[in-house]
């Protein structure tokens, strides 16, 4: 068996998408539940990797991501509404990222049972934070903003933290400048991740890789 690396995962995701474009899926005919389609495709991709004799940790409910050994989570979404839910862990995720890279695949099933995979995109872990939140923080830092400015910005953006945590995050930002994120992450008990911007930026900015 060969060890699955991040580079091989990205290459195989692109190859898998091209194969799936040509394959009819009778089990998906008439299926309109996007989560069901996503789960089906994620499981099929893992089987595809096992069949190619790759060795990897397939992930489980405890790890919370699909490829924990590579710190990569796989998301399958519809091109008509490119979004997915993600368990809420910490408001820090909006600023410092989700804690893992994201492999995004979108499709248009159109009730035909044939998956028309339009895009396969890999987002590096460092760029999985919220776009507007990180852009605002970087603008504050670029204009010599201080801790109070950052805390006020968190309040304006309704970041779900108390005063103590807001101060801690501000101190951390002043010590280490965050990178620009490209996801849209809503404030909710369960994050709602929007991928429209990622699809448009893929291949044009650092950290967002277009595979297909």
54 and 26 assigned to the same domain:
yes
103 and 26 assigned to the same domain:
yes
Q: Calculate the dihedral angle through the C-alpha atoms of 93, 182, 19, 29, rounding to the nearest 10 degrees.
A: 70
135 and 123 assigned to the same domain:
no
136 and 196 assigned to the same domain:
no
49 and 145 assigned to the same domain:
no
* The predicted structure's pLDDT at residue 197: 92
69 and 88 assigned to the same domain:
yes
Range of the domain at 11: 2-129+181-210
Q: What is the total count of domains within the chain? A: 2
63 and 102 assigned to the same domain:
yes
User: Does the pTM exceed 0.75?
Assistant: yes
195 and 113 assigned to the same domain:
yes
104 and 138 assigned to the same domain:
no
40 and 96 assigned to the same domain:
yes
65 and 100 assigned to the same domain:
yes
91 and 80 assigned to the same domain:
yes
**Residue 48 structure tokens:** 């595809």
Q: State whether the Cα torsion 59-61-65-71 is positive or negative.
A: negative
pLDDT in tens, the chain (212 residues): 899 999 999 999 999 988 877 666 666 655 555 566 777 888 889 999 999 999 998 776 556 788 999 999 998 887 777 888 888 888 999 999 998 899 988 766 555 556 678 889 999 999 999 999 999 999 999 999 999 999 999 999 999 999 999 999 999 999 999 999 999 998 876 788 898 999 899 999 999 999 98
């Amino acid at each position: 068996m060969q060890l699955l690396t991040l580079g091989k995962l990205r290459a195989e995701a692109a190859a898998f998408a091209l194969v799936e474009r040509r394959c009819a899926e009778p089990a998906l005919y008439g299926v309109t539940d996007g989560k069901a389609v996503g789960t089906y495709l994620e499981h099929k991709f893992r089987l595809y990797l096992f069949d190619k004799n790759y060795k990897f940790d397939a992930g489980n409910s405890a790890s919370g991501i699909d490829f924990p050994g590579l710190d990569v989570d796989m998301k399958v979404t519809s091109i008509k509404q490119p979004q997915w839910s993600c368990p809420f862990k910490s408001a820090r995720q909006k600023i410092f990222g989700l804690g893992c890279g994201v492999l995004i695949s979108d499709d248009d099933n159109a009730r035909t049972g044939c998956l028309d995979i339009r895009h396969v995109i890999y987002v590096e872990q460092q760029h999985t934070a919220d776009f507007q939140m990180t852009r605002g923080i970087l603008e504050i830092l670029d204009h010599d903003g201080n801790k109070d400015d950052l805390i006020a910005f968190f309040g304006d953006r309704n970041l779900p933290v108390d005063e103590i945590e807001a101060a801690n995050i501000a101190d951390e930002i002043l010590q280490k400048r965050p990178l620009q994120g490209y996801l849209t992450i809503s404030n909710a008990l369960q994050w709602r991740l929007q991928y429209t911007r990622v699809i448009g930026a893929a291949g044009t900015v650092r950290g967002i890789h277009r595979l297909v």
